[in-house]
Every structure is written in C-alpha cells, then in structure tokens.
Structure 1
Amino acid sequence: MEKDNVNTVKYPALLDIKFIKVASSLGMTKRELFVKMVEYFYRTKKDPSDINDDLLKSSFAKSHKTYTSFIKTQEQLLLIPMKEAMDKMISNQKDIVKYFNEQVVNANKSILKNQLEQKAKLQETENLLIKVIEGKEKLKVNFLQILNSYIRNREELGSFKTREKEELVESVRKQISNL
C-alpha cells in the first residue's frame, strides 16, 4: 500500500461501527478491508448496491439447470434402463431360486422315499436269504439222516427181500418229498 498518496473517505459513524466489526472478524485493518473490497468489485464487476447479486444468482441458476438437465438425461439414458434391467434380473433370479428349490425339494423327497423303499426291500431280501440258508442247512441235515437211515435199513435187509426193499424205497421217497 502506498502511504504517500492517502485519500480519505467520509461515511457515517454508524457505518464505521459495522466496518470495524467486519474488518476485525476477517482479521484485517479497516484500510486493508477497504482495499480488498475495491479490488473485489473492480475485478468481478459486480454492483455493490445489488445485495441479491442477480449476476451470481443467474450464474448459479444456469449451472443448476445445466446440472439438472445433465442428471435427467443420464437418468433417462442410464439409470432408468439399469434399474429396470436389475429389477427384471432380480425377479428372474427369484423365479430361478423358487423353481430350483421346488425341484430340489421334490427330488430329495423322491430320493428319500426310494431309499426307504430300497432299505425295506433289502431288509426283506436279507431276512429271506437268512431263512433260505438256515433252511438249506436243515434240509442237508434231514436229507443226510434219511440217506443214512436208508443205507442202514437196506444193508440190514439183505439182497433177497425185494418187496421190503421196494417198501423201504417208497418210504424214503415220502420222507424226501416231505422235506
């Protein structure tokens, strides 16, 4: 600041109180604040008497309209189609999960039912096989008893008693058929 060319400005005392408050709140002297104000209005070409600053408002409004139109365009071009596609995809995935769950549950029930049936039939087959094996062993024992009895009785009869031999053979056949 040039100290040799100093000019004075006269203004009311009430305005000086406001001027001091503004300068102290900004951490400047009154002279520094005055220089900054003049420089600000000179560079921005704003009208200090226009408190609402229509130029600034119109600049903000223009920027706001530009941003708003950009956002609306993006919404129409990108966001709405993406949301619709996502909603459709979510719906399709829900249908797939529902269908999959139904199929899996039904398949699991069917498999479980078949496994239980197989288990029951396998148990029946096992029981039958045990009976057959036990019966086979009993049959062998009984057959051996009949055979041994036949051999012993035949040897006791001798070779000349044909009628008695035929009765013995018939008796053995009946015993074997009763097994």
Structure 2
Amino acid sequence: MENENVNTVKYPAAVDLKFAKVATTLGLTKRTLFIKMVEYFYRTKKDPADTNDELLKNTMVKSHKAYTSFIKTQEQLLLIPMKESMDKMISNQKDIVKYFNEQVAGHNKAILKNQQEQLIKLLETEKLIQRNFEGKEKLKAIFLQILNHYISTREELGSFKTREKEELAENTRIQIKKL
C-alpha cells in the first residue's frame, strides 16, 4: 500500500487474539480485515453492537409476509379449486361404483341365474331324449317281435286260409296300435 496516514486503534489483548484468529481463518491480514469490516458496516448500515440484527429480522419478516401472502393467493387460486374438483371427482367415482354394484353386478347375477336355469333345463331335456331313445329302441324291438310273429304265423297257415290270415293281420294291427 501507499504511504497513507495511518491511525491507530487501541483495544484489549483478548480482543486482539480473537481478531488475529478471525483474520487467519479468512486468510487476511488484520489490517485488511479491519478495512473490510468497516466497509461492510458502512454499506449495510448495520449496527455492530446489535447482535440480534433488527434490520435482518425486519427483512426476514417482510420476506415471510410476502411468502405467506403468495401462498394464500395460490391457495385461493389453485389449491381450493383443485380440492373442490378432486372432491367432485371422488363423488363421481363413488356414484360410478354404486351404479356398477347396483346395475352391472345385479345384471351379472341375473345372467348367472338364467344360465344355471338353462343348464338344469338342458340336463332335463337330455334325460328326456335319452329316455325317448331307450323307449324307441324297446318299441322297435317289440315291433320287430310282432312282425316276426306275424310272418312266421302267416307262413304256417299256408295260402288257403284267408279268413285266418285276415284275423292274423287284424290282430297284428291291434298289437301295433297298442304300442
């Protein structure tokens, strides 16, 4: 530095130890640190005796108020309408689920019941067809038996007994009608 008028400041030795420690920590000489401290307090207009730093507190309070008002505005503009929309959406979804449970699930139960009834009817029809088939086979067997009896009896009668042949044919017709 140039030769300037240098003033002296007297302070206790305990403060000098702290001052030297701060200067060493910051990598500055004591004189440079002192000059920077004076510039800092001069520019910021802070009171070094005020350890609570009221200016900083006031700035923080103003910032806090600004943030709070911003959040309240956002709450009014975005959050409350968004919550109302979500509530409506949830209500609509509940209505959809209720409708599904009442209508679709009920309809599915009705369809299942109808399918079960159709299955029962189908099984009954199958049994009836099976019985008719078995009855038809028995009927064929009896008819075949009557026909064979008719043929064999006719053969035994010969060709000249017309009246007995007529009785045999009539008797065979009666037996077939009884089937």
| Alignment correspondent of 1:124 | 124
Distance in 1 (alpha carbons) for counterparts of 2:97 and 2:28: 70
Comparing 76-85 with 40-49, greater Cα deviation is found at 40-49
What residue in structure 2 maps to residue 87 of structure 1?
87
Name the residue aligned to 1:59: 59
Q: Does residue 44 of structure 1 match 2:52?
A: no
State the Cα distance separating 1:99 from its structure 2 match.
Answer: 3.2
Letter in 2 for 1:117: E
Equivalent residue for 1:158?
159
Change in 2 beyond 3 A, CA 1:159/1:29: farther
RMSD after superposition: 2.5
5 Å-filtered alignment, 1:11-26, equals 11-26=11-26
The runs of 4+ residues in structure 1 deviating greater than 6 Å are none
One-letter identity of the residue aligned with 1:113: K
3-state secondary structure, aligned to 1:51: coil
Equivalents in 2 of 1:27, 1:81: separation in Å? 56
2:9 maps to what in 1? Answer: 9
TM-score, structure 2 as length reference:
0.81
Number of the residue aligned with 2:115: 115
3-state SS of 2:7 partner: coil
CA deviation map 1:9-61 (0-9, x unaligned): 11233332332343344343322221210121222232333333332222221
Q: Which moved more, 1:5-14 or 1:61-70?
A: 5-14
Alpha-carbon distance between aligned partners in 2 of 1:41 and 1:159, rounded to the nearest angstrom? 157
1:57 to 1:98, Cα distance in 2 relative to 1, 3 A = same
Given residue 111 of structure 1, which amino acid in structure 2 is its aligned partner?
A: I
Inter-partner Cα distance in structure 1 for 2:43 and 2:149: 140
Match of 2:170 in 1: 170
What's the offset of the Cα at 1:124? Answer: 1.5
Q: Which residue of 1 aligns with 2:31?
A: 31
What is the TM-score with the length of structure 1 in the denominator? 0.81
Read off the aligned partner of 1:60 and give its amino acid letter. Answer: M
What amino acid is the match of 2:50?
D
CA distance in 2, matches of 1:99, 1:31: 83
Q: How far did residue 126 of structure 1 move?
A: 1.4
What is the number of residues matched between the two proteins? 177
Cα distance in 1 for partners of 2:57, 2:174 equals: 125
- Identify which range, 24-33 or 122-131, moves more after superposition: 24-33
Measured after TM superposition, the shift of residue 63 of structure 1 is 1.6
Q: Secondary structure at the match of 2:8?
A: coil
Structure 2 unmatched runs, 5+: none
CA–CA distance in structure 2, aligned partners of residues 23 and 84 of structure 1: 59
SS at match of 1:8: coil
